[in-house]
Amino acid sequence: MGELGFLTPNNRRTQTIECLEDGQVLTIPYERLLEIYFQDPQFGYYFLVLTSHRLLENNQRLEENNQRLQENISRLEATLAQEKAARQT
């Protein structure tokens, strides 16, 4: 959780979570992540695949949301056009 934050400007998280129950949080400083990234090529590749996959998923979700919004706008425009035509007759 939060791996994309390592790739964003100022290492800001892209989402916020809220714990509903007690738990443990494990953290890793950015400097340590970089150290592991460069020391272990397998980890570096895994991290790139993980973050790329997440970015692609987020992009797909945004595209789907945009498509739904465009469809809603088209329906609203059609409804408004019908109502306007009905008032003119």
Domain boundaries in the chain?
A: 3-88
User: How large is the average pLDDT for residues 6-15?
Assistant: 74
User: What is the reported pLDDT for 15?
Assistant: 74
Residues 35-78 have pLDDT tens digits of: 998 999 999 899 889 989 988 998 999 999 999 999 999 999 99
27 touches 13 (CB < 8 A)? no
| pLDDT exceeds cutoff 90 at 81 | yes
More confident of the two residues 75 and 1: 75
| pLDDT exceeds cutoff 90 at 8 | no
* pLDDT, the chain, mean: 89
5 touches 54 (CB < 8 A)? no
